[in-house]
Amino acid sequence: MHKTPALFESSLTPNQHSALSTQHSIRPRRLRLNPTLRRMVRETTLAPDDFIYPLFVTHGRHVKNEINSMPGVYQWSIDQLAREAEAIAKLGIPAVILFGLPAAKDPIGLENFSSDGIVQQATRAIKQAVPEMIVITDVCLCEYTDHGHCGILNHGDQPHLPEGYVLNDETLKVLVKVASSHAEAGADIVAPSGMIDGMVAAIRSGLDSSGFEHIPIMSYSTKYASGFYGPFREAAQGAPKFGDRKTHQMDPANAREALRETELDVAEGADMLMVKPALSYLDIIRQTREQFPQLPLAAYNVSGEYAMVKAAARNGWIDEERVTLEILTSIKRAGADLIITYHAKDAAQWIK
């Protein structure tokens, strides 16, 4: 005798069930019948305006170094930036975020707040070539310090703290100098990324007291200690020489703590929020969007997320365009207004 498999047993009463199945009054497929209908009922759309494109800038001339683990992403020298910025603008992408590779590294990262530093030069070059391009600068020490950590390290100065610990308030003083120096060079937005306590308040008051009260802060308000930053550390040469970043970046297991971190940054005066990485943290994007609806929210679709797509696509295992647009759509659907992504140029082209 025929028996209905358990999968199809429904919670409807037999009468309801037979009404539905005989009349088929509810058929969600009606709205999926053709591409135009699907377009009309689409809830989430992508546009080049949603994207922020990361750029790695380095000293030298005629440099366009492809990053091994990030195909299609390059380290650029300053003389190449005007052309690249024009290409980005032409695709309709409104903003870039800069990461600098300094000429030399030292314990506090001096080049990071030098008026002739690599990011300062790059900012001036881009603003000159494409004045309407929004230049965001990453405010952190890890690419500039010889130890590769995001702050000033404890070397017996504070015996009650572990050796090599990132000292919070000493680091804040340097971050304030870096942010002001970036603003001085013409940055439109500064983006502190170190998860140092009080970084937004310190940078806000530093900017305000040096005449940059009009410069917004995009805080990396929720940044996890993530394995997905691997390829970035090759691109920006900012891997820690020892240890890890787990005493300041967040534990991937925590969600409630993300809301606490965000609340603090909002109170300290952040103008824009961020969740990073994006894909393993779509729940955090959604919760941040719901709890802090007043502020623009960015999500950082990080290097490891990009590398995975590229690697699988190169092997012919996935359809790169389809998967990339699906990923970017999911980040926006989760609640991000803006997506920092290495896919920005390709995606902008595909969307057109």
Q: Which two tokens stand for residue 300?
A: 């950082």
Closer to ligand PBG by Cβ: residue 142 or 218: 142
The identity of residue 178, as a single letter, is V
Find the angle CA(61)-CA(63)-CA(67) to the nearest 5 degrees.
Answer: 155
CB of 238 to ligand PBG, least distance (A): 6
Residue 157 neighbours by CB distance under 10 Å: 11
CB of 306 to ligand PBG, least distance (A): 7
Contacts of 338 (CB under 8 A, 6+ apart): 50, 51, 52, 272, 296, 297, 298, 299
310 is catalytic: no
Closer to ligand PBG by Cβ: residue 17 or 109: 109
Straight-line distance from the first to the last Cα atom of the chain, in angstroms, rounded to the nearest whole number: 56
Would you call the peptide bond into 35 cis, given omega within 30 degrees of 0 as the criterion?
no
Is residue 252 within 8 A of residue 276, CB to CB? The reply is no
Residues of this chain that interact with ligand PBG (CB under 6 A) are 138, 140, 142-143, 193, 229, 232, 238, 245, 302-303
Q: Of residues 105, 127, 177, 276, which has the active-site annotation? A: 276
Q: Of residues 127, 177, 223, 310, which has the active-site annotation? A: 223
Nearest to 238 by CA among 162, 138, 343, 344: 138
Rounded Cα distance, 84 and 77, in Å: 11
Closer to ligand PBG by Cβ: residue 107 or 129: 107
Closer to ligand PBG by Cβ: residue 180 or 303: 303
CB of 162 to ligand PBG, least distance (A): 19
CB of 190 to ligand PBG, least distance (A): 13
Closer to ligand PBG by Cβ: residue 135 or 140: 140
Is residue 189 within 8 A of residue 198, CB to CB? The reply is no
Is residue 107 within 8 A of residue 155, CB to CB? The reply is no
Rounded Cα distance, 11 and 162, in Å: 59
CB of 193 to ligand PBG, least distance (A): 4
CB of 147 to ligand PBG, least distance (A): 13
345 is catalytic: no
State the residue for tokens 């017996």: 156
Closer to ligand PBG by Cβ: residue 38 or 216: 216
Is residue 279 within 8 A of residue 272, CB to CB? The reply is no
The identity of residue 137, as a single letter, is T
Residues labelled as active-site residues: 223, 276
